[in-house]
Chains A and B, each alone.
Chain A
Amino acid sequence: MHQLWLIPALPLAGFLVNGIFGRKLSKPAVNAVAIGSVLLSFLWVVKTLLALGPLESAYTESYFTWIQSGIVNVGFDLAVDRLAAVMLLVVTGIGLLIHIYAIGYMSHEGGYYRFFAYLNLFMFFMLILVMAANFLLLFVGWEGVGLCSYLLIGFYFLKKSAGDAGKKAFVVNRIGDFGFSLAIFLTLVTFGSLDFGEVSAKAATMSPETTAGVVTGICLLLLVGATGKSAQVPLYVWLPDAMEGPTPVSALIHAATMVTAGVYMVARAAPLFNLAPIALDVVAFVGLITAVLAATIGLAQNDIKKVFAYSTVSQLGYMFLALGAGAYSAGIFHVMTHAFFKALLFLGAGSVIHALEGEQDLRRMGGLRSKIPVTFLVLMCAAVAIAGVPPFSGFKSKDEILLAVHAYSPWMFWVGVVTAGMTAFYVFRAIFLCFFGTYRGKAHPHESPLVMTLPLGVLALLSLGGGYINVPQYLAPVFGQPNVDHDMTLVAISVGAGLAGIFLAWLFYVVKPELPEALARTFSAPYKLIYNKYYVDEAYDALVVHPLRDGSRSVLWRGIDAGLIDGAVNGTGALARSIGAGLRTMQSGYIRRYAAWVVLGSIVVVAMVTFLGGAR
């Protein structure tokens, strides 16, 4: 036994301590509990992985039966294989850095202990998600991270927009979870188990004819779940709004870890997806659409966090594209490198925001290069990494993906290359707008404290050099050797696209800053379209939210409930009353009228006896 349970349990303990007693604890004590628990968890991960050695097959620990009834028999089982190992290191490692960073970032905020309690709870659920040995436990983590995301987006709960964004995230995720849960039910009915190992073993032995339809169904439903959590078309709308949360949250949950849960889940279910080529095609297609759509929106956003948020959506699209192309290991590789550089981008942005006392609008930044040099430096590292400049980490993983996609479908490769160019453009646009030119704001920028810059430095190193961790090779036993031809021409093309994007951004925002304005005027219709994010939110509101709410109110509640059903119920009552009221007039209270009724009655009775012969 390697006591795997300790890995999630430590952050859980941190959550409980800070959640219950945090109000009475001093800030250093809260820090010690929150960061200490994550640090211990990280160390335990490292120790366990070292102890487990090469980890050729999954290592499972079963603790207790969670639910048992009928065909349901789900245990509280944790497992580690190479896939989980990569994710564990990323989650605890990046999580630790971001926890440390948050000490500085959140130092002036109210609800300090609450923030760290939520972060620890998030770590707990994320680790459960990663180490789950069956679909249901994965779902536990899945829902749990959604909950923490909800709580942390709505952290500034005095702001209505924050509450709205949190609720939107939870509800949209719930729509995805709807698909995921149906997939779980269907899996259990089909395979009689929810264990990853058992399901893939059974799936492999069942004849393709019997499984094809239902497995495709399961995979598509899983994909619905993944589109919710990983912000893919059509459920990506919550992620940009999620930037209402504090920046460390954006970095940890909405860039580095939680949003990649969908990718992880699809990779986990790879044995099923491999049996359902149609589902894989859909995955690739969804990924591609998302990548392009989000990249175009990202071109025109002015909020620095929104730019990076759309960039995240776009990069997640890339990962799905990789999954769809069957290059699971490339997808997971990109999950890791993306975690490095996107966390860095967000934390760097947070450092900028911190320096500018809350300013997030790129139009009121500029010329910060000299004022906050460390931040500038680390953001440049992240930017070159995400733009795919060789030999940094983004280049490595993106190349892996694009090459696999070329083998899968050449036209998708070309779309991917264009998207890579756009990615480089909008990231450098943000960098140039922020750090070059002249300062356009009013605040007094100051460099962030060491507790913030230190994690930035570590992440910068990882962003630059993280590509040399050969994840695809390490994951080969899980997914098989990736089918990629390392064609140097293709590599050159994708690198060229990235460099072109950087050059254009430089041209537009450093050399000729008046050019973008002019372009926006010339192409005002398409510019407006992407500036307003294709009006997708408005469309959802008009097509789904309002009809549902107004229909429920006026048709279901006022119409059917109060009108029809209660009308019938009260109508029955009213009918009984009116009959009673009619009969009541007989009982006037006047004795002589009663006597008259008696007389009338006797006359009727006598008449009946006489004429109808009732007596006989």
Chain B
Amino acid sequence: MNLLDWLLLIPAAGFFVTLLLPRNNPGLVRNFTLGVSLIVFLMSLGLIGPVMENPGAFDREVNVVWIDTPMIRYHIGVDGLSLWLVILSTLLTPICILVSWSYIQKRVNEFYAFMLLLLVGVVGVFVSLDLFLFYVFWEVSLVPMYFLIGIWGHEKRIYAAVKFFLYTMAGSVLMLAAIIYLYNKTGTFDLPLLMNMIATGRLAMSPAEGFWLFLAFFFAFAIKVPLFPLHTWLPDAHGEAPTAGSVMLASVMLKLGTYGIVRVCLPLFPDAARDNAPWIIGLAIAGIIYGALVAMVQPNMKRLVAYSSVSHLGFVILGVFSFTQAGIDGAVYQMLNHGISTGALFILVGYLYERHHTLEIADYGGVGTVAPWLTTVFVITTLASVGLPLLNNFVGEFLVLQGAMQVSFSYAFFAAIGVVLSAVYMLWMVQRTFYGETPEPVRKHVTDLNGREWAIMIPLVVLMVWMGIGTKNFLPPITANNQKTLEMVLQPGGALNATAAPLVKESAHAR
């Protein structure tokens, strides 16, 4: 048993224990799950040291047989790509538990149990190195989210939950088919082994084969991201989910898609990834602009933030498929940034909802007068979200756009329009919600942050600043890992195909 095993086992055990805890004592349930998630978070911090030392290789690797035939292995490990995503998940789970402290009043045991199960699912996806295991965790993460939306959501929760579930299933079934096809072809589900086979040329795929397999995986991931035009489940799911559900959905679950692309799609199907990059980038840029424009006219705060996610995640896809070091680093960094800042936005919107019980922007106004600190934190988060320098999103967006520029001026040009628009929709929302005269209902209901709410926001705000300035604390493992991925993508077949020139020459500049 190593650290990673515990990271999966503790919340899984916590899931069962929580269900067994007495139903008439919600305080116990909250404290117990908070404790469990905090322990998991603290333990996950232990991954940083070892991974930082050697980010290109898998650390804390476990590789044992799970099922004999077909050969499915329990193969897990963490590297520079998954490190921060794992920590992001373990960080946000206690935060979400705290967020739900007073918000969730019905079926308390189940709610917190599902939070822990969700943690198992997402961490499992991030650390799986066996495609089948990956798929299992992928589906495991789906179930609790379905219930979180379906049971604790707003009015149209059932519709949203079903839509979310079916949308994701539609993609993941294709992924399963592709996984099984790969197994039939190679006899293994093991990801590092498959990568090795591709790198050494032992696994050769015809272009058509590669294309369809790539597409099957990509489709599953693109729905989760979500890539325009597969995004319409997102506003509904976010609009109806409880705060904690929205946060986990936006901050962690969307990253499963982008993570999957970087982890699976690129190394396994480098040729297909390169060949299909132009239209994927096209969709990403369309999503950036489209998401921003639609966000601009949303009357509902949560839906607005949801559409802004479509826009932000477009940057991630753009960065990945630029196949430049800066672009792909920025993309991975942007995954984390989006997790922090959009998660914080959802939490803050949740605070407003808890006070005033409405998500319509038109019902607010002048919140700044009655809740100055809430306003301050909201504005800081907004500024992070619109990519103000010295805050986290700027770094990600800068690197992504820089990478895009290395490929084509027009990519950077059109994607940068999204940055302009992000200021429009976010500031417009801020203005309508927080500035101006305070209507009587708002004055009556809205109060400033309390201690618990501060405790939630402070770590997030600190991270926004830290990740915006101290990038050297976060970026190196990402860079090291992406370098490996890029080599695989840009030089398919390794030695066999050495003639294939890299798309862009990277030049290192020693300072």
Q: Which residues of A contact B (CB under 8 A)?
A: 23, 62, 64-73, 75, 136, 139-140, 143-144, 147, 150, 154, 157-160, 162-164, 166-167, 170-171, 174-175, 177-178, 181-182, 185-186, 188-189, 192-193, 548-549, 551-553, 556-557, 560-561, 565-566, 569, 573
Contacts of A181 in B (CB 8 A): 398, 401, 416, 419
| 29 A/B residue pairs, CB under 8 Å, sorted by A | A66-B469, A68-B475, A69-B399, A70-B324, A70-B403, A71-B406, A71-B506, A72-B398, A147-B383, A163-B435, A166-B431, A170-B423, A171-B427, A174-B424, A178-B420, A181-B398, A181-B401, A181-B416, A185-B401, A186-B409, A188-B405, A189-B402, A549-B296, A551-B293, A552-B293, A552-B296, A556-B297, A557-B294, A560-B290
B388 within 8 Å of A (CB atoms): yes
- Which of B75-83, B122-130, B325-333 forms part of the interface with chain A? B325-333
Contact residue among A72, A170, A182, A548 (Cβ-Cβ distance under 8 Å from B293): A548
Q: Which residues of B contact A (CB under 8 A)?
A: 163, 166-167, 229, 231-233, 290, 293-294, 296-298, 324-327, 329-330, 366, 368-369, 372, 383, 388-390, 394-395, 398-399, 401-406, 409, 412-413, 416-417, 419-420, 423-424, 427-428, 431, 434-437, 469, 471-472, 475, 479, 506-507, 509, 511
Cβ–Cβ contact A185 & B405, under 8 A: yes
Cβ–Cβ contact A64 & B294, under 8 A: no
A159 to B389, CA, bound (A): 28
Contact residue among B232, B402, B436, B511 (Cβ-Cβ distance under 8 Å from A188): B402
Interface centre among A72, A193, A553, A569 (most CB of B within 10 A): A72
CB nearest neighbor in B for A550: B297
Cβ–Cβ contact B388 & A64, under 8 A: no
CB nearest neighbor in A for B418: A178
Contacts of A549 in B (CB 8 A): 296-297
Contact residue among B366, B398, B404, B428 (Cβ-Cβ distance under 8 Å from A167): B428
In addition to A62-B511, A557-B294, A569-B167, 14 A-B residue pairs with Cβ atoms within 8 Å of each other are A66-B471, A71-B402, A157-B434, A162-B435, A166-B431, A170-B427, A175-B420, A178-B420, A189-B406, A192-B507, A552-B296, A557-B297, A560-B290, A573-B166
Asked, given contacts A65-B511, A73-B509, A556-B290, whether A147 binds B388 with beta carbons under 8 Å apart, the answer is yes
Cβ–Cβ contact B297 & A553, under 8 A: yes
A573 to B167, CA, bound (A): 10
Cβ–Cβ contact A167 & B427, under 8 A: yes
Asked, given contacts A72-B399, A189-B405, whether A174 binds B419 with beta carbons under 8 Å apart, the answer is yes
A231 to B420, CA, bound (A): 17
A282 to B405, CA, bound (A): 24
Cβ–Cβ contact A157 & B436, under 8 A: yes
Contacts of A565 in B (CB 8 A): 229, 231-232
A198 to B509, CA, bound (A): 12
A192 to B326, CA, bound (A): 13
Cβ–Cβ contact A561 & B232, under 8 A: yes
Question: A572: shortest Cβ distance to chain B, in Å?
Answer: 9
Contacts of A75 in B (CB 8 A): 511
CB nearest neighbor in B for A576: B166
A69 to B395, CA, bound (A): 11
Tell me the interface secondary structure of chain A in the complex: helix
Contact residue among B293, B368, B436 (Cβ-Cβ distance under 8 Å from A556): B293
A188 to B405, CA, bound (A): 9
CB nearest neighbor in B for A566: B232
Cβ–Cβ contact A193 & B366, under 8 A: no
Asked, given contacts A167-B431, A182-B412, A193-B509, whether A67 binds B436 with beta carbons under 8 Å apart, the answer is no
Closest 4 CB pairs of A and B: A70-B325, A185-B405, A70-B326, A140-B389
A523 to B63, CA, bound (A): 88
Question: A469: shortest Cβ distance to chain B, in Å?
Answer: 33
Asked, given contacts A144-B390, A163-B431, whether A71 binds B326 with beta carbons under 8 Å apart, the answer is yes
A73 to B298, CA, bound (A): 39
A72 to B231, CA, bound (A): 32
Cβ–Cβ contact A136 & B398, under 8 A: yes
Contacts of A560 in B (CB 8 A): 229, 290
Contacts of A171 in B (CB 8 A): 420, 423-424, 427
Question: B113: shortest Cβ distance to chain A, in Å?
Answer: 30
Asked, given contacts A170-B423, A186-B405, A552-B297, whether A143 binds B436 with beta carbons under 8 Å apart, the answer is no
Asked, given contacts A70-B329, A154-B435, A182-B412, whether A569 binds B475 with beta carbons under 8 Å apart, the answer is no
Contacts of B428 in A (CB 8 A): 167
Contacts of A561 in B (CB 8 A): 232, 294
CB nearest neighbor in B for A567: B232
Contacts of B369 in A (CB 8 A): 158
Interface centre among B167, B405, B412 (most CB of A within 10 A): B405
A596 to B167, CA, bound (A): 38
Asked, given contacts A66-B469, A158-B366, A178-B417, whether A71 binds B294 with beta carbons under 8 Å apart, the answer is no
